[in-house]
Amino acid sequence: MIPLIFLASLLALPADTFAAPTNVVPVSGQSISLLRRNPSPRDATQRGALAKRQRDNLIAKYGGATTQKRSTGYNSIVNQDYDSSYYGSLAIGTPAVSFDVILDTGSSDLWVASSSCGTSCGSVATYNPSSSSTFQNLSTPFDINYGSGSAEGYVAQDTVQMAGFSVSSQGFAVVDVVSTGLLTSPVSGLLGLAWEPLAASGQMPLWQTLASSGSWDSALFAVQLTRYTNDSKAETLEPGGVLNMGYTNSSLYTGSIDYIDIPGTDTYWYLPLTSITVQGTNITIASGTTVAIDTGTTNIGGPASSIAAIYAQIPGSQPATGEWEGYYTFPCSTTVNVEVSFGGATWSISSADIAFDTLSSTECLGAFFETTTGTGTPSWIFGDAFLKNVYSVFRYNPPSIGFASLSSVAIAENGAGGTVPSATIGTVSAAVTNTSDAPRGHALSASLSALLFLAFSTTLLL
């Protein structure tokens, strides 16, 4: 979950480029820095509620144009609440107004809080349609439900800018009813980065508009996320990495990018899951098992039997109870070695990411947790606990996901601190007109990442 602004130093990219459009053009593409927000210390009850919300959100989420110029760009990411969520920024309207939004490869809708949202949106920045000369109300209802709440509004079109790109008549949702606590400042909404069939709004996602229009040098985007969960001095908000748009940043990875094609219909970003090894022991994975790759989910969810088999390899682990139900605990003194494969290379997950939380001086909460998903959806969801360990590339054609080993430059950004990117408006270097049809029916329910990520991340932000 779900149901996504960092500083240039970590990516060796210009430091004056943040979340919204910019005129800085990297060697082969544009990108968006990511920002991470870290939570203030929480007691056991708060942490338990957070864990439960993440699990509920994941179940809700997965259960049941003309091109003027080809270019590239990037958006700095913010790391929020000790690797709990990652957000970037974009700008909407004429004149443009910037907003921070969760970056979610597990969902496909862009939505932002409206100026008519009222007290439920708290102090977050809101979008005022009457202030934009390019706003168009499509008069189509929008409703999305998460494990921890819901958002309602209507579908509209306006000019949307991000990482130096401008898309006119981009479809998105204007939300004027939000469950209490669903949004926490400074985040004003969510940017879905999955495929159009998942969009509850029926609108083509922003990234897909750009990729299909030929605006990017390469029809792909890439993500690098930072780690602060094991940094005792981390702040609530830290530099979170970067979102590269239209190119891959070779300074952030080493070796080649290992691409695996999506094994079916373009909906979620998902792959075959062929192996999981824990402490040197292979975990049985059923043939045909698939896994969603979801920046909007903090941890890793899977079938109960598989999760039990994983923890059976970790001495001293046991099922958690109460708010922690579905999770497991294990001794913090244990170094847990996990490797996974999607049919190509094998990737390791840091022991620091296996420990989602510390419940006491000796007891840790594991990042792997039990979840159930609906028919036809991936049975596993790999979130940020995995993605912090690789440079991830999401390719438009052929539809595929690639991973590469992080470079020393990228690794050095973990726990490094620095200035947290803020939502800014830069210069547009490439403009596109969205020519996709106005609202079309969606074949699938609202994406898991949006649900999971928003619900969970907003919980973390409380």
Q: How far apart are CA 105 and CA 56, in angstroms?
A: 18
Phi, psi of 247 (to 5 degrees): -165, 165
CA 259 to chain centre: 19
Q: Are strands 346-349 and 338-341 parallel, antiparallel or unpaired?
A: antiparallel
- Give the tokens for residue 350: 């840091």
How many Å apart are CA 462 and CA 283, to the nearest integer?
36
Active-site residue 294, yes or no? yes
Euclidean distance between CA atoms 345 and 258, whole angstroms: 7
Tokens matching residue 356: 């989602």
The crossing angle, in degrees rounded to 10, of helices 448-461 and 44-62 is 170
Q: Catalytic annotation on 56?
A: no
The kind and range of the H/E element at 144 are strand 136-146
- Do 206 and 167 contact (CB within 8 A), yes or no? yes
From the list 104, 176, 258, 353, the catalytic residue is 104
The gap between the terminal CA atoms of the chain, to the nearest Å, is 16
Rounded distance, CA 145 to CA 279, Å?
A: 38
Which position among 83, 158, 294, 384 bears the catalytic label? Answer: 294
Q: Could you give the residue numbers annotated as active site?
A: 104, 294
